[in-house]
Amino acid sequence: MTLKAEHVKTALVGLSESDRAELAHFLINSLERAEDDKATTEWEVELERRAEDIHSRREAGEDAFIVLSELRAKYQ
């Protein structure tokens, strides 16, 4: 942990329990959003790659009706 983070941590200990809980909630949510943004970007890149593979006929893909039927059978 950085020296700056250690100073902040020391200062936060003096806050009320409800203030610390609210800050903890804020910090956790900020981490989740960062991960969500990263995952979203990675999925967008992957989806573009897959779409290009299908359009260029490098990949054939599967009929959605067949895929969904298989899933329904598997997870009745």
The domain locations on the chain are: 3-74
| Position 73, amino acid | A
pLDDT for 41 equals 87
Q: State the average pLDDT over residues 53-76.
A: 91
pLDDT for 30 equals 84
pLDDT, one tens digit per residue, over 2-55 is 999 999 999 999 999 999 999 999 998 888 776 777 888 899 999 999 999 988
Question: pTM of whole model > 0.85?
Answer: no
